[in-house]
Amino acid sequence: MRQLSYSEAIREALRLEMRRDSNVFILGEDVGQFGGCFGVTGDLWKEFGEDRVRDTPISETAIIGTAVGAAVTGMRPVAEIMFCDFLTVCMDQLVNQAAKMRYMFGGKAVVPLTVRTPVGGGISAAAQHSQSLEAWFTHVPGLKVVMPSTAADAKGLLTAAIRDDNPVMFFEHKLLYPVKGDVPEGEYVIPLGQADVKREGSDVTVIATSIMVNRALEAAEALAAEGISLEVIDPRTLVPLDEETILASVEKTGRVVIAHEAVTRSGFGAEIAAIIAEKALDYLDAPIKRVGSKPAPIPFSGVLEQFVLPGSQDIIAAVKELV
Amino acid sequence: MEKEKLVDLYRQMVRVRQFETKVSELFAQGKIPGFVHLYIGEEATAVGACANLRPDDYITSTHRGHGHCLAKGGDMKLMMAELFGKKTGYCKGKGGSMHIADMDVGILGANGIVGGGLGIAPGAGLSAKLRGTDQVTACFFGDGASNQTTFHEGINIASIWRLPVIFICENNQYGISLHQSKHQRVADVADRAVAYGIPGVVVDGNDVMAVYEAVGEAVKRARAGEGPTLIEAKTYRWHGHFEGDPTVYRSEKELAEWKERCPILRFGKHLVEMGVATEQELDTIKAEVDNEVEEAVRFAEESPLPVPEEALEDIYA
Ligand SMILES: Cc1ncc(C[n+]2csc(CCOP(=O)(O)OP(=O)(O)O)c2C)c(N)n1
Ligand SMILES: [Mg+2]
């Protein structure tokens, strides 16, 4: 199959959806001629023009506010927030406005809004440009939360997000942008709420999100050599969450490691662990283990940053405590 | 102004220029990680502004903060070590370029959030007022930052409470790739002062004396309890937004025109014409600063990296 990078796959989804539906448009900082801070929107402005690939002032509140206003009146905006850390600047428009409008208005409004934003560390960008804040948004009823780990998933899920009639938070990982993978050509939609078993195994279930899926696959490869078989599950969307696939795997293995790059404390892993504890305690042969960032802001210096961020060796260590 | 002070303004600008030039080289060599945003071309603004400040006055800075930090009395060695991610750096390697701070000389931090300082500066002003001191706070921010909510909210609260804050907009014409004419309808950010009932002043940000005088007036007002001023310094960054930016959004011609207006060349020429300094004296300053920069690099290179576990220190007081 044809290979695309994660960022090319995202761009392809944007391009196809913009061709298909004239109500879809992009807005964000430097998304036009500049092509986006991480080059994701690339040359889209050439095909669609400045009206549909709109450069905004540095005004995150206005970016999301404008997107919400446009969405509720018939458009289908895709807003880019340059780093997920800057979502903090526009939280009201997301959390109090976008997420709740439909409900507060008795189901009479639709807010078909997609917010794309990169998470993650690993590039010495320090504490205000490296966070993974996805869990915050899973706590807000009304928002959907998507977090792809591969190029193909990014294309299929972004297409679904854009077509969805709800506000969808779409978290990309900045280290994944150049990573290539097979991506189906033409229209490709992955329904929100379907997990993917990235590797089948029998001893331990590793539920991983975003870049930690790659780390889990590395760990699986390394442990296979030692005769330990990991099953790697990528939920792909956190809200809605495919509990069934997760619970089925837990039933099979009886052992669980949950891995995400966000700080472990109150990360989405806590929610997954709670669901397993509530619904699958009988299947468990060992305590649930969580792997995530240590509880610190992301530091600048590489040695410190690598210490704080989780890696495949942390997954391996967690697995070894279970088997 | 006395001769020493004039010559010192020149030296400070050269320090910023040479520091940044070295950082650019080191970044290209892969010795400095992360994002660096250089101040080359804008030196007169930080230097002219900070020449009015006392060590106990405050500044809030930006992602493009090296110039502010040096001009406010920051230690070049500690800055360079921080850029290298070393334990001896200003932030023990935790902050990097975008978070350099020195609480001892009133540098309340560079900032990775555009507009972040516009929120904090009024608070430092309020604190000085409540504590009954005459300290002032200079708040540096870009033209791009003037479209953030904190611009409106910060200046408004400073104006109603007559806080001793000098808001200094460094209008270098761009917020990353977006020219000012595409991100706001006004040509002069200073016009917005009207909305807050405070003075708004436009100044040539490449003329160190002009900046010095405009900020001097504002500092006087602030110390006298007359409240904030909004100053807009028109200037230009010579390098890309960050090191590595291909700058597709601007022309070589535009850059060349601004280089003609180099704040350092201009002021040097002025000093020589006024008989304040000779060419040789200026050359000596450059050579001395070169040494200072080399020293800083040596210090940074020879310093140890932090120990990984230190990542978990300094989170709470
Ligand atoms: C809240 C927030 N939004 C966006 C960014 C990304 N960003 C960093 S610098 C910058 C441009 C800032 O422009 P300006 O304020 O004019 O300062 P200049 O870089 O020109 O000095 C942008 C958009 C950020 N760091 N913080
Ligand atoms: Mg600017």
Architecture of domain A196-322: 3-Layer(aba) Sandwich (3.40)
In the predicted model, what is the mean pLDDT of residues B156-174? Answer: 98
Averaged pLDDT score across all residues of chain A? 98
Tell me how far the alpha carbon of residue B178 lies from the centroid of ligand 2, in angstroms.
9
Chain A residues in contact with chain B using a Cβ-Cβ cutoff of 8 Å = 29-30, 32-34, 37, 55, 57-62, 85-86, 89, 123-129, 294-297, 299-308
* Nearest CA among A267, A252, A261 for reference residue A202: A252
From the list A55, A59, A301, which residue is nearest B306 (CB)? A301
What are residue B4's phi and psi, to 5 degrees? -60, -40
At B1 the pLDDT is 85
Q: Can you list the domains of chain B with their CATH numbers?
A: 3-300 (3.40.50.970)
ipTM of the complex: 0.97
Are B166 and B218 spatial neighbours (Cβ–Cβ below 8 Å)?
yes
CA B173 to chain centre: 16
In the predicted model, what is the mean pLDDT of residues A248-268? Answer: 98
Q: Is B241 a catalytic residue?
A: yes
From the list A123, A125, A307, which residue is nearest B311 (CB)? A307
Contact partners, residue B125, CB within 8 Å, separation at least 6: B136, B137, B158, B161, B163, B164, B165, B222, B228
Contact A58 B144 (CB under 8 A): yes
Q: Using CA positions, which residue lies closest to atom 8 of ligand 1?
A: B114
Give dist(CA A214, CA A234) in Å, integer. Answer: 10
Give pLDDT tens digits for B199-220.
999 999 999 999 999 999 999 9
Q: Which of A304, A305, A306, A313 is best to mutate for the B interface (most B CBs within 10 A)? A: A304
Tokens of A17: 């959806």
From the list B99, B115, B144, which residue is nearest A126 (CB)? B99
Query: Which helix H or strand E contains B45, and what residues bound it?
Result: helix B43-50
Determine the length of chain B. Answer: 317
Averaged pLDDT score across all residues of chain B? 98
Contact B34 A300 (CB under 8 A): yes
User: No. of H helices and E strands in chain B?
Assistant: 11, 7
CA distances from residue B99 to A268, B90, B116, B269 in whole angstroms, order as listed: 29, 9, 12, 35
Contact A294 B311 (CB under 8 A): yes
Give pLDDT tens digits for B7-20.
999 999 999 999 99
Q: Note whether B115 contacts A: Cβ–Cβ < 8 A.
A: yes
Instruction: Please list, residue by residue across A289-298, b when 16 or more beta carbons sit within 10 angstroms of its beta carbon and e when fewer do.
Output: bbbbbbebbb
* Nearest CA among A20, A17, A55, A62 for reference residue A36: A55
Are A5 and A180 spatial neighbours (Cβ–Cβ below 8 Å)?
yes
Q: Ligand 1: which atom is nearest the Cα of residue B146?
A: 15
Does residue A177 sit in helix, strand or coil? coil
What are residue B52's phi and psi, to 5 degrees? -90, -5
Instruction: Give me the helices (H) in chain A, please.
Output: 6-20, 44-52, 60-71, 91, 101-104, 134-138, 151-163, 211-224, 243-253, 268-280, 302-308, 312-322
Q: Check pocket membership of B112 for ligand 1, CB cut-off 6 A.
A: yes
Looking at chain A, the whole-number percentage of residues with pLDDT higher than 90 is: 100
Q: Note whether B302 contacts A: Cβ–Cβ < 8 A.
A: no
* Nearest CA among B143, B53, B29, B28 for reference residue B105: B53
pLDDT above 90 (res A299): yes
Measured between CA atoms, how close is B23 to chain A, in angstroms? 16
Q: Ligand 1: which atom is nearest the Cα of residue B175?
A: 13
Q: Which of A33, A43, A58 is best to mutate for the B interface (most B CBs within 10 A)? A: A58
Q: Check pocket membership of B73 for ligand 1, CB cut-off 6 A.
A: no
Does residue B218 sit in helix, strand or coil? helix
Q: Note whether B33 contacts A: Cβ–Cβ < 8 A.
A: yes
Domain spans, chain A: 3-182, 196-322
Q: Check pocket membership of B142 for ligand 1, CB cut-off 6 A.
A: yes
Does residue A291 sit in helix, strand or coil? strand
How many Cβ contacts (< 8 angstroms) between chains A and B?
122
What are residue A54's phi and psi, to 5 degrees? -95, 120
Are A121 and A85 spatial neighbours (Cβ–Cβ below 8 Å)?
no
Give dist(CA A5, CA A152) in Å, integer. Answer: 9
Domains A3-182 and A196-322 share a fold: yes
Tokens of A59: 């005004």
At A319 the pLDDT is 98
CA distances from residue B231 to B147, B212, B214, B257 in whole angstroms, order as listed: 16, 11, 8, 23
In the predicted model, what is the mean pLDDT of residues A105-110? Answer: 98
Give dist(CA A120, CA A313) in Å, integer. Answer: 18
Vertex A254: Cα angle to A251 and A260 (nearest 5):
100
At B182 the pLDDT is 98
Tokens of A145: 């939360």
Are B145 and B209 spatial neighbours (Cβ–Cβ below 8 Å)?
no
Query: Which residues of chain A neighbour B111 with C-beta distances below 8 Å?
Result: 128
Q: For helices A243-253 and A268-280, give the axis angle rounded to 10 degrees.
A: 60
In the predicted model, what is the mean pLDDT of residues B171-182? Answer: 98
Contact B86 A301 (CB under 8 A): yes
Query: Which residues of chain A neighbour B114 with C-beta distances below 8 Å?
Result: 58
Give pLDDT tens digits for A17-54.
999 999 999 999 999 999 999 999 999 999 999 999 99
pLDDT above 90 (res A153): yes
Burial (0-12, 13-18, 19+ Cβ within 10 Å), B63: buried
* Nearest CA among B105, B108, B104, B106 for reference residue B95: B108
From the list A33, A86, A296, which residue is nearest B311 (CB)? A296
Measured between CA atoms, how close is B9 to chain A, in angstroms? 32
In the predicted model, what is the mean pLDDT of residues A3-11? Answer: 98
Q: B183: nearest CA in chain A?
A: A57
At A110 the pLDDT is 98
Looking at chain B, the whole-number percentage of residues with pLDDT higher than 70 is: 100
In the predicted model, what is the mean pLDDT of residues B192-197? Answer: 98
Q: A35: nearest CA in chain B?
A: B177
Indicate the pairing of strand A256-263 with strand A204-208. parallel
pLDDT above 90 (res A81): yes
Give pLDDT tens digits for A191-249.
999 999 999 999 999 999 999 999 999 999 999 999 999 999 999 999 999 999 999 99
DSSP conformation class of B176: T
Indicate the pairing of strand A256-263 with strand A289-293. parallel
Q: In terms of CATH, what superfamily is A3-182?
A: Thiamin diphosphate (ThDP)-binding fold, Pyr/PP domains (3.40.50.970)
Does residue A20 sit in helix, strand or coil? helix
Q: What share of chain A is helix, strand, coil (3-state, %, to 5)?
A: 40, 20, 40
* Nearest CA among B216, B248, B240 for reference residue B229: B216
Are B307 and A306 spatial neighbours (Cβ–Cβ below 8 Å)?
no
Instruction: Give me the helices (H) in B84-137, please.
Output: 116-131
Tell me how far the alpha carbon of residue A58 lies from the centroid of ligand 1, in angstroms.
7
